[in-house]
Amino acid sequence: MFKKLIPFLCTVLMCVFVISCGGSAAKTENNGEEKSEEEASDDISENDDNNGTETDGSGNSEVSDENNEVAGGDDENQESGGNDDGNDGLNENDDSETQDSDEESADEDPDTFWNEVFAAPSQDFETKTEALIVTTDEFAEVFRKFADFHTVTGINTKVVTVEDICENAACNDNDTMKDTQKAIKDYVMSVEGLRYLILGGDIDEIPSRKVHDKFSIIVDTYEDDFYSDLYYADFSEWDSNGNGVYAEDDGTLSVGDDAPVLIANVAVGRISVSTVDEAELYFTKVVKHHTAFNTEHTKKSLLLANIATEISNVKINAGYYFESEGKTASLIPSDYSVKRLYTESSPSPSNKALPLDNDSEKAAIEEGVNLIVHSGHGGQNYLTCEQANSDNDFTGNMAYNLKNEALPFFLSCACEAGQFGYRYGDSAGEKLMNAPEGGAIVYLGNTTTGLGIAGGSQFIDEMLKNMFASSSSIIGDSYLYAHANMPQNDTFNPPVPLINNVPVVTSDSWQWTKKSIVMLGDPMTVFWRDKFGPFEAEVVPEVGENEGVKTLSFHFNQEQEGAALRIFAGEKLYDIPYIMHETIKINLDPSVDKVTVGIKAEDSQYFFKEFDI
């Protein structure tokens, strides 16, 4: 039995020996001279019989096959260099080795070699709408630019006009149960999976819902009819008693009152423009904010505080709320610079605060800042002001004339500065947003009396918690978070002897605040929490046309690997979620003359560009 195994063991030992020696590209004879791979292969072939190795039907030895694996590379390379005529694999493998060498050279020079990938239109875009822009026929063209921008940077966005909605819904503005507002809300609620809503135009273009509310607090009673865009965002019933008066509240919990939930199902923002030029200007601001935000200003914040009220002849500075434990100032990360401008009072809320006046406020905004939080007073014509005097009246015209490169998120609980239904022209908040050389990228304010530390400040604090929770965030998500998490009760401890735990938020002030808050601007705007620089790459399509088909080619090298690419062309979206070192190609109808390209990469601002082709 042992003798029968001897030939088999010899074969195995020979295989091991040959494989262990076959890994080098050149063989060395006893005299020290090197032989080429081909010569070494011939030697092995000539000695097949002496080695006692088995052969297959084609005449190739098993030893040679194993040696070819080691010396020649992977299976694919073997197949490309193999020969079906029965000749020895090693002897016929020269072409394969040359091809391998060429491919390795191409890999070493990524600028000369790309894999080609043809992308097909995304079916997901046809069925999935994450954001909706409601506007009019007059503004439709410019707001389609917003839709294209958000679509290619990651959020499927569609445009619908009021005219189209009312054509199907037969709007009757003489009947509050069948008016344009009701038709718009019904349409918005019909869009499955919707998260963001833009109202594209001021109140003359896109109407709002007028509501009634009443609220009493220790120092005063408030009652008013005012506009609320939350009507479009909250999918609950706002006229449950059917009397045509929406979200009515007379300050009591009477049977038959309307009972809207007042929790936003979608994030609603109003781009309150009255001309196409204003819309174009704001679009330019949005693109710059997302593609070329100056990182020098990313981690800069500004706190503005007026005198909120007086208790027992003590001026209650809104800065007292900012500096309270767990409130606004403590929610701003420690790696942010915080500039405080507070109206002078005694005691001062903070030894870090500087006196607030119009000049200091203007200078702080124009030097560049990413976030502004204001607690205090305002009005239709005043962005910020004092309650008792006109010393610090920062007017809407001052806001309109600001010249600041970095456009901040301006979050305020002031009265009426966000009143987009102001009958005598633009309110201060609208002028801030439409400023031609500066202003803000997003303004959060009130359409009626703002309740400050009795509701508005708590809503803003909830937004801040979400805004600073990640390296970048979408402001609409922070808006939704605040609506879901704003407390329905809260207390405040002013620096007044014997006065502690003053109730400042009640269920009534909670309802008032929810209805009165308005967000002016694009709810899909990104808040850059960390210093993400612009996307560094040149992306230029190559255009070719052959046999009635226009082909676009985009080359991406190793530096762009991992980014997400989206191309919008001919009403179709091409979605490539992960770029490799490759050439992306799309085939288009020759009539397509423009494409929009967006790229999102980790730790980077967006790439966005429109190309005429």
Q: What is the pLDDT of residues 117-149, one digit of tens each?
A: 899 999 999 899 999 999 999 999 999 999 999
What is the overall mean pLDDT for the chain? 84
Lowest mean pLDDT among 383-392, 518-527, 552-561, 587-596: 383-392
Of the pLDDT bands very low, low, confident and very high (cuts 50, 70, 90), residue 27 is very low
* Cβ atoms of residues 373 and 339 within 8 Å: no
pLDDT of the residue at 41: 39
Tell me the CA distances in angstroms from 455 to 130, 375, 459, 492, 512, one per residue in order.
Answer: 30, 11, 6, 11, 8
More confident residue, 110 or 133: 133
Of the pLDDT bands very low, low, confident and very high (cuts 50, 70, 90), residue 183 is very high
Q: Is the pLDDT of residue 29 over 50?
A: no
* Cβ atoms of residues 68 and 92 within 8 Å: no
- The residue written with tokens 């630019």 in the block is 145
* Cβ atoms of residues 211 and 226 within 8 Å: yes
| pLDDT tens profile 286-312 | 999 999 999 999 999 999 999 998 877
Q: Is the pLDDT of residue 95 over 50?
A: no
Of the pLDDT bands very low, low, confident and very high (cuts 50, 70, 90), residue 115 is confident
Q: What are phi and psi of 128, to 5 degrees?
A: -120, 120
- Distance, in Å, from the CA atom of 90 to the CA atom of 87, rounded to the nearest integer, reads 9
Mean pLDDT of 429-457: 96
Rg (CA), the chain: 35
| pLDDT tens profile 215-274 | 887 667 888 999 999 999 999 999 988 888 898 876 555 556 788 999 999 999 999 999
Q: Is the pLDDT of residue 94 over 70?
A: no
* Cβ atoms of residues 570 and 600 within 8 Å: no
- Distance, in Å, from the CA atom of 408 to the CA atom of 416, rounded to the nearest integer, reads 20
| pLDDT tens profile 580-609 | 999 999 999 999 999 999 999 999 999 999
Q: Is the pLDDT of residue 495 over 50?
A: yes
In the chain, % of residues over pLDDT 70: 80
Set out the domains of the chain in order of their start, with CATH numbers.
2-108 (no CATH), 116-123+536-612 (2.60.40), 293-528 (3.40.50.1460)
pLDDT of the residue at 387: 86
pLDDT of the residue at 248: 80
- Distance, in Å, from the CA atom of 528 to the CA atom of 143, rounded to the nearest integer, reads 24
pLDDT of the residue at 310: 83
Mean pLDDT of 435-441: 98
Q: Is the pLDDT of residue 350 over 90?
A: yes
Q: Is the pLDDT of residue 91 over 50?
A: no
pLDDT of the residue at 309: 87
Tell me the CA distances in angstroms from 409 to 27, 274, 326, 420, 522, one per residue in order.
Answer: 71, 22, 21, 18, 11
More confident residue, 257 or 456: 456
Mean pLDDT of 482-487: 98
* Cβ atoms of residues 440 and 509 within 8 Å: no
- Collect all residues with Cβ–Cβ distance below 8 Å to 178 and sequence separation of at least 6: 169, 170, 171, 172
* Cβ atoms of residues 505 and 489 within 8 Å: yes
- Distance, in Å, from the CA atom of 204 to the CA atom of 214, rounded to the nearest integer, reads 26
- The residue written with tokens 């030029």 in the block is 277
Buried b (16+ CB within 10 A) or exposed e, 470-493: eeebbbbbbbbbbbeebeeebebe
Mean pLDDT of 388-400: 90
pLDDT of the residue at 249: 74
pLDDT of the residue at 250: 63
More confident residue, 496 or 263: 263
Of the pLDDT bands very low, low, confident and very high (cuts 50, 70, 90), residue 393 is very high
* Cβ atoms of residues 103 and 126 within 8 Å: no
In the chain, % of residues over pLDDT 90: 66
Tell me the CA end-to-end span of the chain in Å, nearest whole number. 80
